[in-house]
Amino acid sequence: MIIGFLGTGVITEAIIRGLYDVAGYDDTILVSERSATRSAQLAHDYRKVRVVCDNRSLAEQSDWIMVSVLPEQVRDVLKELDYRPDQKIISLAAGVSLEQLRTWAAPATDIVRVIPMPPIEHGLGPVALCPPDAGAETLFEKIGTCVAVSDEAQFNLFGAASALMADFFDQVADVTTWMSGKGMDLTTAARYTTALYHALSDLTVRQPVEELHMMSAACQTPGGLNAQFLARRTQSGASRSLTEGLEDILARLESAAD
Ligand SMILES: NC(=O)c1ccc[n+]([C@@H]2O[C@H](COP(=O)([O-])OP(=O)(O)OC[C@H]3O[C@@H](n4cnc5c(N)ncnc54)[C@H](OP(=O)(O)O)[C@@H]3O)[C@@H](O)[C@H]2O)c1
């Protein structure tokens, strides 16, 4: 089977490296020549990656077409190509609806939306899919945790949650910088904070789902440090800003598909 990527940006590279390095994937992958340095590097690093000069030729040669250009580029890129009814179209583009994709990629009807995240390069992280698709799930399960829903409105909730990434990294960096500002060596501070956030995230995955909401309470000794910190953050509106931020992103994703 041949998978072709329209767009050779950050997330395309993460998926390709994850597939070959982590999952031992061995089929051919085509990438567009755009982002010439990145596509050339991928072809250099993996013998099964081939750079294809134009999108039309890439689409013709591919059994599955991964749409990995920016959302505002999807319409123009898709509309200039021809599709076979048996081709699978997998779109990564945020806010581009299944209905829009069906219109622009007709007569192809086998269309799936996915949201992989950058840690997929290391075989980690969620891969949201809509609708559920056995083929796409088999591929992405090699390098991530597939979570598929039939309802596109629910899929947008995953899209909103995927926007937490920058805030998370800022939190790790800010705590590290705060320690270093107090005189600690930066490497020592980072060793502590990255191990802390890694361990806490790992703990959430191990927790039974129904006990997830009890994790916070379980580490709050009355009058203790965790209780004091959380109270301060709640008071300053941190938890409200989390849900408000998610609502904003959701509204943006929902309106983009109109
Ligand atoms: N980054 C993430 O974490 C992430 C996660 C999930 C989903 N997504 C989605 O994945 C898509 C790609 O995101 P990204 O972060 O990888 O973006 P990116 O790094 O900006 O990559 C976009 C790619 O599209 C190429 N491109 C632009 N116009 C093209 C055309 N006409 N034909 C072929 N290729 C063209 C660009 O080439 P040039 O550099 O030559 O312009 C570039 O290689 C977006 O729709 C985004 O919503 C991203």
Q: What is the pLDDT of residues 140-163, one digit of tens each?
A: 999 999 999 999 999 999 999 999
Whether the Cβ atoms of residue 2 and residue 63 lie closer than 8 Å to each other: yes
Q: Is the CB of 92 under 6 A from ligand 1?
A: yes
Enumerate the CATH 3.40.50.720 domain ranges in the chain, comma separated: 3-150
Q: Does residue 257 register a pLDDT over 80? A: no
With bands split at pLDDT 50, 70 and 90, how would you rate the model's confidence at 131? very high
pTM over 0.85: yes
Q: Does residue 120 register a pLDDT over 70? A: yes
Q: What is the pLDDT of residue 110?
A: 97
Q: CATH code for 163-256? A: 1.10.3730
pLDDT in tens, 171-205: 999 999 999 999 999 999 999 999 999 999 999 99
CATH of 3-150, one of 3.30.420.40, 3.40.50.720, 3.40.50.150, 3.20.20.70: 3.40.50.720
With bands split at pLDDT 50, 70 and 90, how would you rate the model's confidence at 258? low
The separation between CA 178 and the C-alpha centre of its own chain, rounded to angstroms, equals 29
Q: Whose CA is nearest to atom 35 of ligand 1?
A: 7
Ligand 1 centroid from CA 231, angstroms:
41
Enumerate the CATH 1.10.3730 domain ranges in the chain, comma separated: 163-256
Q: Is the CB of 69 under 6 A from ligand 1?
A: yes
Environment class of 107 (CB within 10 Å of its CB; exposed 0-12, middle 13-18, buried 19+): exposed
With bands split at pLDDT 50, 70 and 90, how would you rate the model's confidence at 239? confident
With bands split at pLDDT 50, 70 and 90, how would you rate the model's confidence at 23? very high
Q: Does residue 66 register a pLDDT over 80? A: yes
Q: Is the CB of 97 under 6 A from ligand 1?
A: no
Q: Does residue 133 register a pLDDT over 90? A: yes
pLDDT in tens, 215-233: 999 999 999 999 999 999 9
